[in-house]
Amino acid sequence: MDKVKILETYLPPKAAPLISRWIDYFFCEFKVSRNRNSKFGDYRHPFGGQGHRISVNYDLNPYAFLVTTVHEFAHLHTWNEHKNKVKPHGAEWKANFKRMMQPFFEMDIFPPDIKHAIVNYLNNPAASSCSDLNLYRSLRKYDAPKPDHLTIEKLPAHALFKIKDGRIFRKQERVRKRYKCIEIDSKRIYLFSPVAEVQLIEE
């Protein structure tokens, strides 16, 4: 199966040919990865005889997969221009992300709410990375329904919940942008993103 056909199974189909051309143009090893709770995608610059490497989680919906892919290619492009001399999500990366997102706007690939969230994100200097919650929430609307899962912010106060590795926590108060949660077995405190997806345990 050719590269475009494979990419069409993860991306909005109209976006696949351009992403395929980027993979070839930048001599990039592009990998569809298992789910990682801590991140949607990853970029590694050339090192130790290996070239550019990008990985994106396999279980993202097509719009989230595309946004994450463009996010990582913007890192690649910024590294080619500046190496490690600029901030990972600084002005240079943001300018490249905006420029590389433009063709997909012109193809009219995104629903209006996602496009609006991306534009707001790019015009907001305070949003340092794709952890921007408005953009994340817009993308999550297009996930397949998971009836037994909720995000941390939607759990009742002091609710018990379970994460993918089976550990159980109790939700505590919000501290700035994250929620304090106590792991039941160890009594250790962890900070969770408001949009982390967990399984509610009924008491």
**Digit-coded pLDDT (tens) for 78-97:** 999 999 899 988 889 989 99
Instruction: For 98-120, give one letter per residue: b (16+ CB within 10 A) or e.
Output: bebbeebeeeebbeeebbebbee
Question: Residue written as tokens 């070239």?
Answer: 51
- Contact predicate 152/174, CB 8 Å: no
DSSP state of 14: G
Q: Inform me whether the pLDDT recorded for 127 exceeds 80.
A: no
**Digit-coded pLDDT (tens) for 28-63:** 999 999 876 667 889 999 999 999 999 999 989 999
Percent of the chain scoring above 70 in pLDDT: 95
Model confidence at 128, pLDDT cuts 50, 70, 90, reads: very low
Instruction: Give the HSE-up count for residue 9: Cα atoms under 13 Å, Cβ half-sphere.
Output: 9
Q: How many helices, marked H, and strands, marked E, lie in the chain?
A: 6, 9
Q: Inform me whether the pLDDT recorded for 142 exceeds 60.
A: yes
Considering only the top CATH level, what class is 149-201? mainly beta
* Closest to 57 (Cα-Cα) out of 86, 30, 89, 35: 35
Percent of the chain scoring above 90 in pLDDT: 66
pTM: 0.81
DSSP state of 50: B
Spell out the domain ranges in the chain. Answer: 3-140, 149-201
> Mean pLDDT, to the nearest integer, of 105-120?
93
**Digit-coded pLDDT (tens) for 159-199:** 999 998 899 999 999 998 889 999 999 999 999 988 888 99
Angstrom CA distances, 31 to 43, 58, 92, stand at 10, 9, 25
pLDDT at res. 82: 97
- Contact predicate 93/86, CB 8 Å: yes
Q: Which residue has the higher pLDDT, 129 or 145?
A: 145
- Encoded tokens for 145: 């329904």
